[in-house]
Homo-oligomer: A and B are copies of this chain.
Amino acid sequence: MSRRDEILDVAVAVLEEEGPDALTMRELATRMGIRAPSLYKHVRDKDDILAGVQERALIALAQHLAAAGPGLAGLADAYRSWARAHPRLYEVATRRPLARERIAPGVEAAAAAPIVAAAGGDAHLARALWALAHGLVDLELSDRFPPGADLDATWRTALRGFEPPPSPTRS
């Protein structure tokens, strides 16, 4: 494993354990047993690290979505549960502009694939679904909903508009 990858490992760990404010060059260096300026032998700057973390977050999210339960509800569940399990990673994955130049091609597509599939290939619908899920998660993670709100119910309501029309099953 390259030294750069080690740094990214540590960065992810710091982020998840202590939050974004603790993610300083000096803290990273300390955890690696070196001094802050030495990091620059392996990494362009702090933004480079963030881009690497973003890439890893997208990959992890993509994997989680790929293993989602069936249906739109399963996908939505997977999306929300991953974001709640890794709120800081979700933040760097979505809040910063996508570093398209620094991120391996295909990562973006891989993360999008399960959603596009759920949308039956309709790109606009896929984006709408993504935005809906992202909006719900983003607002939840930054505590914008009134405390005590029943967000499970909100999700169900939100997805109702996008469910395929109920196939008339015999009753």
Contact = CB atoms under 8 A, between A and B. Distances in A.
Contacts of A97: 142-144
A7 B150 CA distance: 38
A158 B122 CA distance: 12
Contacts of A133: 135
Given A127-B158, A135-B136, 19 more contacts: A94-B139, A94-B142, A94-B144, A95-B142, A97-B143, A98-B144, A122-B157, A124-B154, A124-B158, A125-B157, A127-B139, A127-B149, A127-B151, A128-B136, A131-B135, A132-B132, A134-B135, A135-B138, A161-B162
Interface in A108-138: 122-125, 127-128, 130-136, 138
Interface residues of A, number: 35
A57 to B, nearest CB: 13
Contacts of A98: 142-144
Given A94-B144, A122-B157, A128 B139 contact: no
A170 interface: no
Contacts of A142: 94-98
A6 to B, nearest CB: 29
A138 B138 CA distance: 9
A151 B135 CA distance: 16
Nearest to A153: B124
Nearest to A142: B97
